[in-house]
């Protein structure tokens, strides 16, 4: 219990201040209750389980974790990076058992515990945001059978320059019968909602590109749950991927290729993001790590495409920003462009792997804010017109006010509201 005592106290203090019920297991014996009874009751009443591991593994840890899994509780595990011989045999065995376990996030490794409370709280809020989104999606689907239009909003929003380049890159990949992985980089400010375009790729664009290239077979798009900014070795990337595929063998990357063959998957694309605020606005290290992983990936058969789409989200949190992050961490940085640093990181990767012999690096055009003409074109789509038959030009222009364009983050909310208004 001596390990990470200070960090556990810091996390508890932050949660207590926000009125969030929590239980930190300490063997103080002050309550007079049996420790086993105390932690079992706490786990059964929990929504999320957080485990922090360094050199040792407590007597109750394995039972605690297995009880959490049996109760379908979300589990987040953090492991300090060190040589295996520095850890106890019990802990090494435990970590091997949980690596790649179905429905359990892959282990998140950290070098020092200095920023650990901050990272855990960030992950916790991200988990809450995702959970809220799932609940809202379920509620909408229960209330209306027209939810499909909302689901397709991302693919209707204008991103034509990216579509043209993506189609070109996929076609070239199969025309050259490449056996090397494809790394697609999508840069742009965080306000341009990279995730919406990734949704468009998943729902529509990738399939259209494959059909035009004459490629048949299944496709899979998998989203990373952990940020590359907090990964330090390529083995961490492999563990995340293998966990997403629900495979147990993590010894080599060949298991991923065999997974594609066994499931007749023609295209396997992993989606991740490098967020400026998570990498101190310098994505060089995280981007280089991902490139190194794919550069060392084994050759694939010529009819398979495996690779990753990396969203580079340039951002600084403005001093007047609202939301969890500024409130939680007191970030007072002024908003400014970090495009130059991000561009430099991309150029480094392009130059290092310029000949495509290790990994094919392709950069999509930078995401920019849609204009009035883009919204007009979007409204002409058959799927939209069935729900929103007519929208006056003045109403469209009113969305933009005095601005020539709107960040997709803001515009998307207005488009969704427009659909709801059309239905009513």
Nearest Cα to Cα of residue 375 among 389, 354, 393: 393
pLDDT digit string, tens, across residues 305-360: 899 999 999 875 443 444 444 444 444 343 345 678 899 999 999 999 998 899 99
* Per-residue pLDDT, 106: 61
The continuous run of DSSP H or E covering 11 comes out as helix 5-17
Q: Are strands 218-223 and 305-314 parallel, antiparallel or unpaired?
A: unpaired
Please, where in the chain does CATH 3.40.50 lie? Answer: 5-127, 160-363
For the chain, how are helix, strand and coil distributed in percent, rounded to 5? 50, 15, 35
What is the distance between the alpha carbons of residues 275 and 189, in angstroms, rounded to a whole number? 10
Query: pTM of the full predicted structure?
Result: 0.63
Nearest Cα to Cα of residue 343 among 399, 410, 276: 276
pLDDT exceeds 80 at position 128: no
Q: Which CATH number fits domain 160-363: 3.90.1570, 3.30.420, 3.40.190, 3.40.50?
A: 3.40.50
Q: Is 222 in a helix, a strand, or coil? A: strand
Task: Let me know if domain 5-127 sits in CATH 3.30.200.
Answer: no
Task: Provide φ and ψ at 109, rounded to 5°.
Answer: -95, 145
Residue 22, token pair as written in the block: 């929590």
Nearest Cα to Cα of residue 126 among 41, 16, 3, 223: 223
Q: What is the DSSP letter of 240?
A: H
Weakest-pLDDT range from 116-120, 393-397, 420-424: 420-424
What's the 3-state SS for 10-79?
Answer: HHHHHHHHCCCCCCCCCCCCCCCCCHHHHHHHHHHCCCEEEEEECCCCCCCHHHHHHHHHHCCCEEEEEE
């Amino acid at each position: 219990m001596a390990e990470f005592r200070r960090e556990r106290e810091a996390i508890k203090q932050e949660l207590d201040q926000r009125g969030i019920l929590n239980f930190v297991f300490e063997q103080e014996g002050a309550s007079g209750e049996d420790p086993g009874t105390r932690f079992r009751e706490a786990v059964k009443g929990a929504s999320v389980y957080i485990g922090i591991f360094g050199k040792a593994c407590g007597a109750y840890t394995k039972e605690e974790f297995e009880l959490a899994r049996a109760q379908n509780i979300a589990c987040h595990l953090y492991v300090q990076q060190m040589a295996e011989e520095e850890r106890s045999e019990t802990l090494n065995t435990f970590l091997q058992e949980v690596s790649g376990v179905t429905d359990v996030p892959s282990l998140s490794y950290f070098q020092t515990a200095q920023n650990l409370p901050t990272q855990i709280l960030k992950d916790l809020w991200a988990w809450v945001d995702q959970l809220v989104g799932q609940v809202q999606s379920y509620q909408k689907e229960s209330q209306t059978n027209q939810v499909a239009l909302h689901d397709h909003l991302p693919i209707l929003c204008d991103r034509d320059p990216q579509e043209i380049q993506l189609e070109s890159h996929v076609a070239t990949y199969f025309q050259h019968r490449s056996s090397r992985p494809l790394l697609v980089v999508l840069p742009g400010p965080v306000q341009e909602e990279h995730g919406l375009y990734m949704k468009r790729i998943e729902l529509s664009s990738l399939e259209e590109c494959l059909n035009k290239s004459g490629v048949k077979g299944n496709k899979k798009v998998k989203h990373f749950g952990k940020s590359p900014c907090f990964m330090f070795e390529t083995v961490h990337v492999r563990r995340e991927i293998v966990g997403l595929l629900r495979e147990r063998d993590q010894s080599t990357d060949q298991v991923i290729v065999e997974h594609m063959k066994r499931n007749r998957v023609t295209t396997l694309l992993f989606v991740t993001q490098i967020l400026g605020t998570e990498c101190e606005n310098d994505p060089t290290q995280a981007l280089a790590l991902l490139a190194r992983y794919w550069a060392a990936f084994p050759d694939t058969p010529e009819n398979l495409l495996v690779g990753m789409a990396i969203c580079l989200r340039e951002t600084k949190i403005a001093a007047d920003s609202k939301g969890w992050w500024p409130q939680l961490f007191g970030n007072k940085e002024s908003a400014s462009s970090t495009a130059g640093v991000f561009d430099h990181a991309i150029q480094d990767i392009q130059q290092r792997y310029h000949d495509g012999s290790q990994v094919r690096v392709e950069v999509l055009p930078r995401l920019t804010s849609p204009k009035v003409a883009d919204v007009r074109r979007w409204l002409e789509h058959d799927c939209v017109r069935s729900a929103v038959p007519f929208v006056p030009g003045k109403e469209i222009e009113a969305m933009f006010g005095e601005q020539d364009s709107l960040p997709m983050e803001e515009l998307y909310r207005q488009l969704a509201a427009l659909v709801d208004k059309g239905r009513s």
